[in-house]
Amino acid sequence: MYRKNKEKIDKLQLLSQKMYIFAPNIKYHKAMKISIIGTGYVGLVTGTCFAELGVDVTCVDTDSQKINRLVYGSIPIYEPGLENMVTGNVNEGRLRFASDFNRAFADVDYVFCTIDTTPDADGSTNLDPVYRIAKVFGQRVERACTFVLKSTVPVGTASEVRRIVDEEIARRGVSVQVDIASNPDFLTEGNAIKDFMKPDRIVIGVETERARESMTRLYRTILMHNNRRVIFTDTRTAEMIKYAATSMLATRVSFMNEIANLCELVGADVNVVRHGVGTDSRIGPKYIYPGCGYGGTLFPQDIKDLIKIGDSHDFDMRVLKAVENVNTRQKRILFEKLSRFYDDDLKEKTVALWGLSFKPETDDMSEAPAIVTLDLLTEAGCKVRVYDPVAMNATKLRWDHVYCGIDMYDAVKDADALLILTEWRQFRIPAWDRVKSLMRTPLVIDGRNIYDAAELEAAGFTYRCIGR
């Protein structure tokens, strides 16, 4: 393991030196140093991937428990491939974790701000923590450094960070060369390492040529084979690209969910409609799969933020408000189908759920359709049995009456219905004869359209899905 990584680093350094030959404006740094502020999903993936590329990385977080767990090798998130990468880089001394901010800003080339921006009570993004970090950075930065905003933040945040940092440096009466960059993150949970190492594009907002050079130096290994993947722009445009991209994806999902609901009413098959639509090269096949609604930390919050940004400029984001409303309604759809099947009498019915996370390959249940479904089933007086390969711990904490199955088959014992909420791979080809023998009523309500209706009906199930 060690030798393999050593070979990789030697190769990267060789490539860096080659790049220097072809890009004489870019200085070759021997030991690039980065501090990552906020060691959550984005911070941990970003820090670990930079360490994997040979950079010296310190990940900092105010959550000292999280840092302690990381120091002892326990990874707080589920992300395929990440644990091995963290362990390898910690062992080789390129990656470390700390809860002490004091040294995070002094002797580094880049500071990445990757904290979460939790909304205020009125739903607007609370930027105070970002500005506090900028202030401490301005108070402590000692040498040339680029402050990189990776958190998703409203348009204009980088400009305000610039003002705060300049003010603090001026107060100290010193001269330090500091650049500010906006570098929004586009990782998708479950695919985060690939998204970092082979991104569709890297968006970088800068205000000076020096900042542009600094960011090129940082990302040159990733961009090496395709420089067109980097989009340099000003910081406000970079901040806007992030919101516009997320909103476009969410719009596609809500649009297709609405089409699916209409398909049911008019007797059309949404799967074929989706195929017919997605094969149009102007549209493409991604993010048009109908289902029981989108969740996660990203889509819902970014859409709320963009609506707020519009409001703050007296501009009504009507499309996005509709996208949000459609999604809220869609998260109820499995419960409503179940309720209709049992003529609104669900009391004492046993309902099994397969999948809890908002999508496969993650333990993240934020804003997941499963939350709405579990609340509705609880209100209706159902007994609930669930199974998810990785997301059951959060469920145990919030719904202590819910039974967490040992496996997917244990979860369906005596069930009057099986609801599919997340399309984990292991749910795709179950032993239907076993499922049927365990259930009291063979009813499957598929919120991700992963099964073949004819096959299930031939196996003796009543099958419901979205848009067919």
Ligand X SMILES: NC(=O)c1ccc[n+]([C@@H]2O[C@H](COP(=O)([O-])OP(=O)(O)OC[C@H]3O[C@@H](n4cnc5c(N)ncnc54)[C@H](O)[C@@H]3O)[C@@H](O)[C@H]2O)c1
Binding site for ligand X (CB under 6 A): 37-43, 60-63, 66, 114-117, 129, 133, 151-152, 185, 187, 189, 297-298, 301
Q: Which two tokens stand for residue 183?
A: 């570098």
Q: Least distance (Å) from ligand X to the CB of residue 91?
A: 23
DSSP structure string for 142-166: -SSEEEEE-S---TTHHHHHHHHHH
Asked whether the beta carbons of 230 and 204 are under 8 A apart, the reply is: yes
Q: For residues 157 and 216, which CB has a smaller minimum distance to ligand X in the complex?
A: 157
Strand runs labelled E in 164-279: 178-182, 202-206, 230-233
Chain centroid, CA 272 distance in Å: 29
Q: For residues 153 and 415, which CB has a smaller minimum distance to ligand X in the complex?
A: 153
Q: Least distance (Å) from ligand X to the CB of residue 359?
A: 10
Strand runs labelled E in 218-304: 230-233
Beta pairing partners, 441:
none
Asked whether the beta carbons of 299 and 249 are under 8 A apart, the reply is: yes
Q: Which residues of 285-295 are buried (b: 16+ CB within 10 A; e: fewer)?
A: eeebbbbbbbb
Q: For residues 125 and 373, which CB has a smaller minimum distance to ligand X in the complex?
A: 125
Q: For the range 195-199, what are the long-range contacts, defined as Cβ-Cβ under 8 Å and sequence gap of 24 or more?
A: 196/45, 196/46, 196/49, 196/222, 197/49, 197/222, 198/222, 199/229
Q: For residues 32 and 37, which CB has a smaller minimum distance to ligand X in the complex?
A: 37
Q: For residues 148 and 353, which CB has a smaller minimum distance to ligand X in the complex?
A: 148
Q: Least distance (Å) from ligand X to the CB of residue 128?
A: 9
Q: For residues 131 and 403, which CB has a smaller minimum distance to ligand X in the complex?
A: 131
Q: Which two tokens stand for residue 323?
A: 């996208």
Q: Least distance (Å) from ligand X to the CB of residue 116?
A: 4
Q: For residues 187 and 419, which CB has a smaller minimum distance to ligand X in the complex?
A: 187
Amino acid at position 32, single letter:
M
Q: Least distance (Å) from ligand X to the CB of residue 69?
A: 11
Q: Least distance (Å) from ligand X to the CB of residue 215?
A: 18
The whole-angstrom separation of Cα 308 and Cα 293 is: 22
Residue nearest to ligand X (CB): 40
Q: Least distance (Å) from ligand X to the CB of residue 207?
A: 21
Q: For residues 158 and 333, which CB has a smaller minimum distance to ligand X in the complex?
A: 158
Burial class (CB in 10 A: 0-12, 13-18, 19+), 79: buried
Q: For residues 160 and 269, which CB has a smaller minimum distance to ligand X in the complex?
A: 160
Q: Least distance (Å) from ligand X to the CB of residue 152?
A: 4
Q: Least distance (Å) from ligand X to the CB of residue 58?
A: 12
The DSSP secondary-structure symbol of 464 reads E
Chain centroid, CA 258 distance in Å: 24
Q: Least distance (Å) from ligand X to the CB of residue 77?
A: 7
In Å, what is the CA distance from 104 to each residue of 34, 58, 101, 134, 152? 9, 7, 5, 12, 21
